[in-house]
Chain A
Amino acid sequence: MRVVLAEDLFLLRDGLVRLLESYDFEVVAAVDTGPTLLQALLDHQPDVAVVDVRLPPTFTDEGLRAALEARRRLPGLPVLVLSQYVEQLYARELLADGSGGIGYLLKDRVFDPDGFVEAVRRVAAGGTAMDPDVVAKLFAKDHHRDGPLSRLTPREREVLGLMAEGRSNAAIAQELVITERAVIKHTSNIFTKLDLPPSEADNRRVLAVLAYLK
């Protein structure tokens, strides 16, 4: 699987290249600025891009903007954005086009290589990988008042959270130590309670959930 990587700190870039290559990814370009990232994305059209939000020359959200611009020109280009912090504002911008293939994770998630690589693969396959922190923030908003989320049982809320992160039914079942059938039952309950149209594809599910949370 071909990857374009953008990270300005040498140590992290090096570490990420090594990590990805040890899981049999092919890093076709490892760049360190916003403009070179956009160029590399357009030139290589990789299977997935792993991008740091903050990049030179401005050291602002250069990476995020380059990724969004690349997706405007190459619709559906899978991008996993890494950051030292997660913002709902950026999450919403990334998800705005509704086409999937989007990830937004804290850099800490790299500490768990298996989980991180799983997220990269999920994004490359057109799925989503939202950081649990983003999901928690999205949920926190609704908890305040008697929003529709309060109609869910605690278990259903757990399932919804994992769904919003982009996990598949199998992954959710494993995480919560329940059967996949139970997960399917929970999800259909959730969709009914939230008046969302039922859908089989993982990605469409996530987008529906996130659209609803907006």
Chain B
Amino acid sequence: MDLFSKKNKETFFTPLWVNNPVATQVLGICSALAVTSKLEPALVMGISVTIIVALANVVISLLRNTIPNRIRIIVQLVVVATLVTIVSQVLKAFAYDVSVQLSVYVGLIITNCILMGRLEAFAMQNKPWESFLDGVGSGLGYALILVIVGFFRELFGSGTLLNFRVIPECLYVKAGGFYMNNGLMVLPPMALIILACVIWFQRAKNPDLQEKNN
């Protein structure tokens, strides 16, 4: 078996752009709104989701032939919740600063639709290695969109990137300049608008994704 066969590469790369979980499958919109007003939480959330999806995909894929069909969603949920709880406990013990930063987002991961979506649609039918690749790919695809949205929202909403000042202080009205931060950028509606622009751009580049006019 070839670990990096053409098919496996496809499994990994398509969720990054063409079959992006946020832009194409429209999953995980809720957290994309909640954590993107700054770039840093967006990055942290993206990485955490990637790790959890990959692990959960592997576990479910290993168990896939034993899971009773009628309670499969419950089993998936239990696996995700257990993983998230363990990761959050370990972080609290060994990387306290990170866990303080993640705070409520750790809980949000459990409710992230991408997790359930990937488990149900992919891990239940595929082998562990493929599921792992799919999980990492989907997680990174999700992180990519979050980072794009977070980048614009922090840059125009706060004038900073990763809390470093990008737009110089002296340009601001307060310091006698002409510039003001765009307050709408840090509010949730702007996340939807930027997200819509990303989807627009993505569809324009991939004609396959466009709906046919009858």
A and B interact physically:
no
B interface residues (Cβ-Cβ under 8 A, vs A): none
